[in-house]
Amino acid sequence: TTRLQGKTAVVTGASGGIGAATAILFAKAGANLVLLARRLEALEEVKAQCLAAAKEFGVEISVLVKTLDVTDRAAVDALVPALKAEGVKSFDVLVNNAGGAVGTEQAGDIKLEDIDYMVDTNLVSLIQVTQVFLPEMKAQDSGHIINIGSLAGRESYVGGTIYCAVKHAVKAFTRSLMKEVVATGIRCTEVAPGFVETNFARTRFRGDEEKAAAVYKGFDPLVAEDIAEEIVWCALRPPHVQIAELYVLPTAQASATIIARKL
Protein backbone atom coordinates (compact mmCIF):
# COMPACT_ATOMS: atom_id res chain seq x y z
CA THR A 1 0.00 0.00 0.00
CA THR A 2 1.07 3.58 -0.56
CA ARG A 3 0.18 6.76 1.31
CA LEU A 4 -2.00 7.74 -1.64
CA GLN A 5 -4.29 4.75 -1.57
CA GLY A 6 -7.89 5.78 -1.09
CA LYS A 7 -6.96 9.43 -1.57
CA THR A 8 -8.19 11.58 -4.44
CA ALA A 9 -5.92 13.61 -6.69
CA VAL A 10 -7.27 16.34 -8.97
CA VAL A 11 -5.15 17.21 -12.01
CA THR A 12 -5.73 20.13 -14.37
CA GLY A 13 -4.41 19.97 -17.91
CA ALA A 14 -4.69 16.21 -17.56
CA SER A 15 -5.24 15.46 -21.25
CA GLY A 16 -1.56 15.41 -22.22
CA GLY A 17 2.04 16.14 -21.31
CA ILE A 18 2.98 16.41 -17.65
CA GLY A 19 -0.66 16.27 -16.55
CA ALA A 20 -1.41 12.95 -18.26
CA ALA A 21 1.87 11.38 -17.14
CA THR A 22 1.15 12.51 -13.58
CA ALA A 23 -2.33 11.02 -13.67
CA ILE A 24 -0.97 7.64 -14.76
CA LEU A 25 1.65 7.60 -11.98
CA PHE A 26 -0.96 8.59 -9.39
CA ALA A 27 -3.04 5.66 -10.64
CA LYS A 28 -0.12 3.29 -10.08
CA ALA A 29 0.20 4.67 -6.56
CA GLY A 30 -3.45 3.79 -5.94
CA ALA A 31 -4.92 7.31 -5.91
CA ASN A 32 -8.42 7.98 -7.16
CA LEU A 33 -8.39 10.61 -9.85
CA VAL A 34 -10.30 13.60 -11.08
CA LEU A 35 -8.95 14.51 -14.51
CA LEU A 36 -9.73 17.96 -15.87
CA ALA A 37 -9.01 19.45 -19.29
CA ARG A 38 -10.81 20.96 -22.25
CA ARG A 39 -10.76 17.90 -24.51
CA LEU A 40 -13.02 15.05 -23.39
CA GLU A 41 -11.74 12.50 -25.91
CA ALA A 42 -8.15 12.93 -24.82
CA LEU A 43 -9.24 12.72 -21.18
CA GLU A 44 -11.05 9.43 -21.83
CA GLU A 45 -7.85 8.08 -23.33
CA VAL A 46 -5.84 9.10 -20.25
CA LYS A 47 -8.52 7.57 -18.03
CA ALA A 48 -8.16 4.24 -19.86
CA GLN A 49 -4.39 4.39 -19.35
CA CYS A 50 -4.88 5.16 -15.65
CA LEU A 51 -7.24 2.23 -15.16
CA ALA A 52 -4.85 -0.10 -17.01
CA ALA A 53 -1.92 1.12 -14.90
CA ALA A 54 -3.84 0.62 -11.66
CA LYS A 55 -4.86 -2.87 -12.73
CA GLU A 56 -1.28 -3.76 -13.56
CA PHE A 57 -0.27 -2.68 -10.06
CA GLY A 58 -3.18 -4.50 -8.48
CA VAL A 59 -4.86 -1.41 -7.02
CA GLU A 60 -8.51 -0.40 -7.21
CA ILE A 61 -9.09 3.21 -8.16
CA SER A 62 -11.85 5.37 -9.58
CA VAL A 63 -11.21 7.89 -12.33
CA LEU A 64 -13.57 10.75 -13.01
CA VAL A 65 -13.07 12.83 -16.14
CA LYS A 66 -14.64 16.22 -16.58
CA THR A 67 -14.22 18.85 -19.26
CA LEU A 68 -13.04 22.08 -17.78
CA ASP A 69 -11.57 25.21 -19.29
CA VAL A 70 -9.71 26.59 -16.28
CA THR A 71 -10.29 30.11 -17.59
CA ASP A 72 -14.06 29.65 -17.42
CA ARG A 73 -14.77 31.31 -14.05
CA ALA A 74 -18.35 30.06 -13.77
CA ALA A 75 -17.26 26.49 -14.52
CA VAL A 76 -14.47 26.68 -11.93
CA ASP A 77 -16.89 28.10 -9.35
CA ALA A 78 -19.28 25.20 -10.02
CA LEU A 79 -16.54 22.56 -9.99
CA VAL A 80 -16.45 21.40 -6.38
CA PRO A 81 -20.25 21.01 -6.00
CA ALA A 82 -20.30 19.16 -9.33
CA LEU A 83 -17.55 16.77 -8.21
CA LYS A 84 -19.28 16.16 -4.90
CA ALA A 85 -22.52 15.39 -6.75
CA GLU A 86 -20.58 12.82 -8.76
CA GLY A 87 -19.44 11.12 -5.57
CA VAL A 88 -16.01 12.60 -4.87
CA LYS A 89 -15.61 12.43 -1.10
CA SER A 90 -12.28 14.08 -0.42
CA PHE A 91 -9.84 16.38 -2.16
CA ASP A 92 -6.40 15.28 -1.08
CA VAL A 93 -4.10 16.49 -3.82
CA LEU A 94 -4.58 19.28 -6.34
CA VAL A 95 -2.06 19.53 -9.17
CA ASN A 96 -2.35 22.88 -10.91
CA ASN A 97 -0.71 21.89 -14.14
CA ALA A 98 -2.72 23.65 -16.88
CA GLY A 99 -0.81 26.46 -18.54
CA GLY A 100 1.74 27.33 -21.15
CA ALA A 101 3.52 30.00 -23.15
CA VAL A 102 2.26 31.50 -26.38
CA GLY A 103 4.64 33.38 -28.65
CA THR A 104 8.15 34.76 -28.24
CA GLU A 105 7.45 38.39 -29.11
CA GLN A 106 9.30 41.00 -27.12
CA ALA A 107 7.73 43.76 -25.05
CA GLY A 108 6.30 46.40 -27.33
CA ASP A 109 5.12 43.77 -29.80
CA ILE A 110 3.09 41.41 -27.66
CA LYS A 111 -0.56 41.11 -28.56
CA LEU A 112 -2.94 41.87 -25.72
CA GLU A 113 -4.77 38.59 -26.34
CA ASP A 114 -1.55 36.63 -25.80
CA ILE A 115 -0.84 38.57 -22.61
CA ASP A 116 -4.35 37.93 -21.34
CA TYR A 117 -4.19 34.27 -22.27
CA MET A 118 -0.89 33.65 -20.50
CA VAL A 119 -1.83 35.60 -17.39
CA ASP A 120 -5.19 33.88 -17.28
CA THR A 121 -4.22 30.24 -17.88
CA ASN A 122 -1.00 30.22 -15.85
CA LEU A 123 -1.91 32.56 -13.02
CA VAL A 124 -5.48 33.77 -12.52
CA SER A 125 -6.96 30.36 -13.25
CA LEU A 126 -4.43 28.61 -11.03
CA ILE A 127 -5.38 30.96 -8.22
CA GLN A 128 -9.10 30.51 -8.78
CA VAL A 129 -8.88 26.70 -9.00
CA THR A 130 -6.85 26.73 -5.78
CA GLN A 131 -9.44 28.95 -4.12
CA VAL A 132 -12.34 26.62 -4.81
CA PHE A 133 -10.53 23.59 -3.34
CA LEU A 134 -9.04 25.36 -0.31
CA PRO A 135 -12.21 25.46 1.81
CA GLU A 136 -12.57 21.70 1.30
CA MET A 137 -8.98 21.06 2.31
CA LYS A 138 -9.33 23.36 5.32
CA ALA A 139 -12.45 21.47 6.42
CA GLN A 140 -10.50 18.19 6.07
CA ASP A 141 -7.49 19.81 7.75
CA SER A 142 -5.41 18.03 5.14
CA GLY A 143 -4.57 18.36 1.47
CA HIS A 144 -1.72 19.08 -0.87
CA ILE A 145 -1.57 21.82 -3.46
CA ILE A 146 1.10 21.18 -6.05
CA ASN A 147 1.64 24.05 -8.46
CA ILE A 148 3.68 23.63 -11.61
CA GLY A 149 6.17 26.46 -11.70
CA SER A 150 9.06 26.77 -14.11
CA LEU A 151 12.63 27.70 -14.76
CA ALA A 152 10.83 30.82 -16.00
CA GLY A 153 9.86 31.47 -12.38
CA ARG A 154 13.54 31.52 -11.44
CA GLU A 155 15.04 33.35 -14.42
CA SER A 156 13.72 35.95 -16.80
CA TYR A 157 14.72 35.56 -20.41
CA VAL A 158 14.40 37.41 -23.70
CA GLY A 159 11.15 36.63 -25.47
CA GLY A 160 9.54 35.49 -22.25
CA THR A 161 8.46 38.68 -20.50
CA ILE A 162 4.91 37.56 -19.84
CA TYR A 163 5.55 33.87 -19.25
CA CYS A 164 8.45 34.62 -16.90
CA ALA A 165 6.35 37.20 -15.07
CA VAL A 166 3.46 34.82 -14.50
CA LYS A 167 5.67 31.91 -13.47
CA HIS A 168 7.46 34.15 -10.96
CA ALA A 169 3.98 35.04 -9.73
CA VAL A 170 3.05 31.35 -9.40
CA LYS A 171 6.12 30.88 -7.22
CA ALA A 172 5.17 33.87 -5.06
CA PHE A 173 1.54 32.78 -4.79
CA THR A 174 2.55 29.29 -3.74
CA ARG A 175 4.94 30.58 -1.08
CA SER A 176 2.44 33.09 0.35
CA LEU A 177 -0.19 30.37 0.43
CA MET A 178 2.18 28.07 2.30
CA LYS A 179 2.50 30.75 4.99
CA GLU A 180 -1.25 31.30 5.16
CA VAL A 181 -2.06 27.61 5.70
CA VAL A 182 0.87 26.79 7.95
CA ALA A 183 -1.39 26.05 10.92
CA THR A 184 -3.44 23.55 8.90
CA GLY A 185 -2.54 20.10 7.62
CA ILE A 186 -2.37 21.49 4.08
CA ARG A 187 0.93 21.24 2.23
CA CYS A 188 2.07 23.50 -0.62
CA THR A 189 4.62 22.55 -3.24
CA GLU A 190 6.02 24.23 -6.31
CA VAL A 191 7.55 21.87 -8.87
CA ALA A 192 9.58 23.96 -11.31
CA PRO A 193 10.89 22.23 -14.45
CA GLY A 194 13.32 23.40 -17.08
CA PHE A 195 13.03 22.02 -20.62
CA VAL A 196 10.51 19.19 -20.79
CA GLU A 197 9.73 17.73 -24.19
CA THR A 198 5.95 18.04 -24.49
CA ASN A 199 3.62 20.16 -26.60
CA PHE A 200 5.00 23.14 -24.66
CA ALA A 201 7.38 24.35 -27.38
CA ARG A 202 4.80 23.65 -30.09
CA THR A 203 2.44 26.07 -28.36
CA ARG A 204 5.16 28.62 -27.67
CA PHE A 205 6.11 28.65 -31.38
CA ARG A 206 2.47 28.63 -32.48
CA GLY A 207 2.65 25.26 -34.19
CA ASP A 208 6.00 25.79 -35.95
CA GLU A 209 7.29 22.19 -35.72
CA GLU A 210 10.82 23.03 -36.77
CA LYS A 211 11.33 25.72 -34.15
CA ALA A 212 9.67 23.55 -31.52
CA ALA A 213 11.89 20.57 -32.30
CA ALA A 214 15.02 22.77 -32.19
CA VAL A 215 14.40 23.52 -28.50
CA TYR A 216 15.02 19.90 -27.54
CA LYS A 217 17.72 19.09 -30.10
CA GLY A 218 21.16 17.74 -29.32
CA PHE A 219 20.64 16.87 -25.64
CA ASP A 220 18.38 14.76 -23.47
CA PRO A 221 15.54 16.99 -22.33
CA LEU A 222 13.26 16.02 -19.49
CA VAL A 223 10.17 14.07 -20.50
CA ALA A 224 6.71 14.38 -18.97
CA GLU A 225 7.22 11.19 -16.96
CA ASP A 226 10.26 12.72 -15.22
CA ILE A 227 8.19 15.56 -13.81
CA ALA A 228 5.32 13.20 -13.04
CA GLU A 229 7.74 11.20 -10.87
CA GLU A 230 8.72 14.33 -8.92
CA ILE A 231 5.10 15.39 -8.45
CA VAL A 232 4.00 11.99 -7.20
CA TRP A 233 7.12 11.72 -5.02
CA CYS A 234 6.20 15.03 -3.34
CA ALA A 235 2.66 13.75 -2.78
CA LEU A 236 3.94 10.47 -1.32
CA ARG A 237 6.00 12.11 1.45
CA PRO A 238 4.60 11.60 4.96
CA PRO A 239 2.02 14.21 6.02
CA HIS A 240 4.56 16.13 8.15
CA VAL A 241 6.95 16.56 5.20
CA GLN A 242 6.37 19.50 2.85
CA ILE A 243 8.53 19.79 -0.24
CA ALA A 244 8.24 23.56 -0.60
CA GLU A 245 9.90 23.67 -3.99
CA LEU A 246 11.62 21.36 -6.40
CA TYR A 247 13.63 22.80 -9.29
CA VAL A 248 14.23 20.12 -11.91
CA LEU A 249 16.51 20.53 -14.92
CA PRO A 250 17.84 18.21 -17.58
CA THR A 251 21.44 17.26 -16.76
CA ALA A 252 22.54 19.11 -19.90
CA GLN A 253 20.74 22.32 -18.92
CA ALA A 254 22.07 24.84 -16.39
CA SER A 255 19.95 27.89 -17.26
CA ALA A 256 17.49 29.12 -19.89
CA THR A 257 20.39 29.64 -22.28
CA ILE A 258 23.18 27.37 -21.01
CA ILE A 259 22.41 24.05 -22.65
CA ALA A 260 25.09 21.56 -23.70
CA ARG A 261 23.96 20.51 -27.15
CA LYS A 262 25.81 17.97 -29.24
CA LEU A 263 24.81 19.09 -32.70
Whether the CA torsion 43, 44, 46, 47 is positive or negative: it is positive
| Residue nearest to ligand 8X3 according to CB distances in the complex | 150
> Can you tell me whether residue 231 is helix, strand or coil?
helix
Q: Of 7, 28, 66, 167, which residue is the catalytic one?
A: 167
Check residue 249 for interaction with ligand 8X3 (CB under 6 A): no
Choose the binding region for ligand 8X3 from 43-51, 65-73, 106-114, 189-197 (rule: CB under 6 A). Answer: 189-197
Q: Measured in whole angstroms, how far is the alpha carbon of residue 96 from the centre of its chain?
A: 4
Cα 244 to chain centroid distance, Å, stands at 15
Binder among 150, 161, 174, 189 for ligand 8X3 (CB under 6 A): 150
Answer yes or no whether residue 152 interacts with ligand 8X3 by CB under 6 A: yes
Candidate residues 83, 151, 178, 234; the one interacting with ligand 8X3 per rule CB under 6 A:
151
Kind and range of the H or E element at 10? strand 8-12
Interface with ligand 8X3 (CB under 6 A), residue from 195, 197, 224, 250: 195
Instruction: Classify residue 252 as exposed, middle or buried by CB count within 10 Å of its CB (0-12, 13-18, 19+).
Output: middle
Residue 259 binds to ligand 8X3 (criterion: CB under 6 A): no
Please report whether residue 17 would count as binding ligand 8X3 according to CB under 6 A: no
- Give 118's contacts (C-beta < 8 A, 6+ positions apart): 100, 101, 102, 162, 163, 166
Residues that bind ligand 8X3 (CB under 6 A): 150-152, 193-195, 256
Active site residues: 163, 167
